[in-house]
């Protein structure tokens, strides 16, 4: 049986090839159709060509085409969304404007002033997509990988128009790290409970095959020793002077990318391991992002936006074109990635139950966070929908911080759906990242003015 997949933002040269290839590799989806929609026609042209070549080499028999949003949504079985309203220029403002008020974002796409501003821009677009879905594919589920994952999922589900689920790979990446840390042969040799909100998830009940009480073997000192040993192993395996030079020039954030995770783990009683990348994790607390010096001390990398991200996009576009032109290897063909989007599509379309990490409304899977707030846990997906797994209680050491984040997100969603400027100010007041609360109103007004073109809900 074939299925129709609408991919809005499908021109992404960074995301679409990998996510689509994963779906192409699923035998139960062979012969299906994917319709790409994007506001960037040049990227969509190269992405469509690349997907067609992937499809041909995999012999997956998919139909691949581009179209308008209405054409893509018409009778779609699943809708995938990966967008960024305002693109890199707006993201750069999210990053730099808060710096005037003492907020030094490391990512700026999920929480804090930058995350609030990004929510206000993206939520109206998501609600427009959901509105179109009620007319063209009311039974379809909206799956997305767009930040801020939590607020967008909450807005769509709160609207009651269609079902919506956010998908993130941060927790899966932590499991991959644990596999390397404990020298386990297979990814399936590691598992654990996931609980929290997106980019502020916690890992508990860690299982590592053959390792007794693995959580007790985690510490900041042992982590530093692990990364130092990995560096020595890399250097011993090469005579390349450039490789040696690159290793020598690595900053603390490059040498110890999970430093702050282990720092938090040690400081908060080893009750749970922070299971998101350091740049995301630190933004959930009220003290880490107060100065660049503090971030450097904790080995946290500031990602930035301009010019690195546009440059990366252009380089990736050129890489795809070169691989097609020269008939080179297509890396996405080697094996399925650990992204769970393809698993979600398989479950929803075919009914074959798959396990995924899902950001969906709380129905009790986290017992001490508010009901209906969007939380992130393991879930099983099938034709019956996306059913969360019970995760338990957020540990007491982390609960106050997470409750503040949930409150910030709820106020942000309300502001975005109502166009209420005062709710934005309230979200700023609640946000742990903004320590100078006297600046809440001025910062709000500056961000609203900067993004005025993307905020139709604010009069």
pLDDT in tens, 152-183: 999 999 999 999 999 999 999 999 999 999 99
pLDDT above 90 (res 251):
no
State if pTM tops 0.95. Answer: yes
Segment 410-437 mean pLDDT:
98
Percent of the chain with pLDDT over 70: 100
pLDDT above 70 (res 238):
no
The 385-388 sheet, strands edge to edge:
63-66, 33-37, 4-8, 78-81, 141-144, 163-166, 354-361, 374-382, 385-388
Segment 433-453 mean pLDDT:
98
Segment 274-282 mean pLDDT:
98
pLDDT above 80 (res 241):
no
Q: What is the mean pLDDT of the chain?
A: 96
| CA 49 to each of CA 56, 306, 351: distance values in angstroms, whole numbers, following the listed order | 11, 28, 30
pLDDT above 80 (res 244):
no
* Whether 402 contacts 389, CB under 8 Å: no
Please give the pLDDT value at position 239.
Answer: 63
Please give the pLDDT value at position 217.
Answer: 97
Please give the pLDDT value at position 69.
Answer: 98
3-state class (DSSP) for residue 169: coil
Predicted confidence band at 378 (pLDDT cuts at 50, 70, 90)? very high
**pLDDT single digits (tens) 294-308:** 999 999 999 999 999
d(CA 321, CA 329): 12
The DSSP H or E segment spanning 231 is helix 220-236
Percent of the chain with pLDDT over 90: 95
Among the listed residues 201, 210, 156, the one whose alpha carbon sits nearest the alpha carbon of residue 183: 210
pLDDT above 90 (res 250):
no
Domains of the chain (ranges, CATH numbers) = 4-169+329-352 (3.90.1820.10)
d(CA 397, CA 265): 10
Please give the pLDDT value at position 235.
Answer: 84
């Amino acid at each position: 049986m074939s299925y129709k997949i609408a991919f809005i933002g499908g021109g992404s040269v960074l995301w679409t090839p990998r996510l689509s290839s994963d779906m192409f590799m699923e035998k139960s989806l062979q012969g299906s159709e994917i319709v790409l929609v994007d506001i960037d026609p040049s990227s969509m042209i190269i992405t469509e060509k690349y997907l067609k070549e992937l499809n041909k080499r995999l012999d997956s028999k998919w139909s691949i085409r581009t179209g308008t949003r209405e054409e893509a949504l018409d009778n779609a079985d699943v809708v995938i969304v990966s967008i960024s309203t305002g693109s890199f220029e707006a993201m750069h403002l999210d990053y730099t404007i808060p710096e005037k008020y003492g907020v030094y974002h490391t990512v700026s796409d999920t929480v804090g002033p930058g995350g609030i501003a990004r929510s206000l821009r993206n939520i109206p677009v998501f609600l427009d997509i959901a509105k179109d879905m009620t007319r063209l594919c009311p039974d379809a589920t909206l799956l997305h990988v767009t930040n801020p994952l939590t607020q967008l999922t909450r807005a769509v589900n709160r609207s009651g128009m269609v079902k919506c689920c956010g998908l993130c790979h941060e927790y899966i990446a932590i499991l991959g790290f644990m596999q390397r840390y404990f020298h386990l042969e297979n990814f399936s040799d590691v598992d654990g409970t996931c609980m929290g909100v997106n980019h502020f998830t916690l890992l508990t009940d860690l299982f590592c095959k053959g390792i007794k009480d693995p959580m007790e073997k985690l510490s900041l000192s042992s982590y530093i020793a692990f990364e130092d040993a990995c560096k020595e192993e890399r250097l011993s395996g090469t005579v390349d002077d450039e490789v040696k030079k690159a290793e020598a020039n690595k900053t603390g954030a490059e040498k110890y990318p999970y430093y702050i995770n282990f720092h938090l783990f040690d400081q908060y009683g080893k009750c749970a391991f922070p299971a998101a990348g350091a740049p995301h994790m630190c933004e959930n607390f009220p003290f880490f992002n107060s100065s660049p010096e503090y971030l450097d001390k904790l080995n946290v990398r500031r990602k930035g936006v301009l010019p690195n991200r546009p440059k990366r996009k252009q380089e990736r576009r050129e890489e795809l074109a070169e691989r097609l032109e020269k008939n080179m290897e297509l890396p996405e063909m080697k094996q399925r990635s650990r992204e769970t989007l393809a698993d979600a599509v398989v479950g929803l379309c075919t009914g074959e139950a798959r396990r995924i990490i899902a950001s969906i409304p709380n129905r009790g899977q986290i017992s001490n966070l508010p009901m209906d707030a969007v939380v992130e846990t393991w879930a099983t997906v099938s034709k019956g929908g996306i059913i969360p797994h019970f995760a338990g209680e957020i540990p007491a050491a982390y609960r106050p911080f997470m409750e503040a984040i949930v409150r910030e997100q709820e106020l942000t969603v309300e502001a975005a759906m109502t166009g209420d400027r005062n709710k934005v100010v309230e979200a700023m007041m609640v946000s742990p990242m903004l320590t100078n609360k006297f600046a809440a109103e001025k910062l709000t007004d500056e961000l609203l003015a900067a993004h005025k073109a993307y905020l139709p809900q604010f009069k």
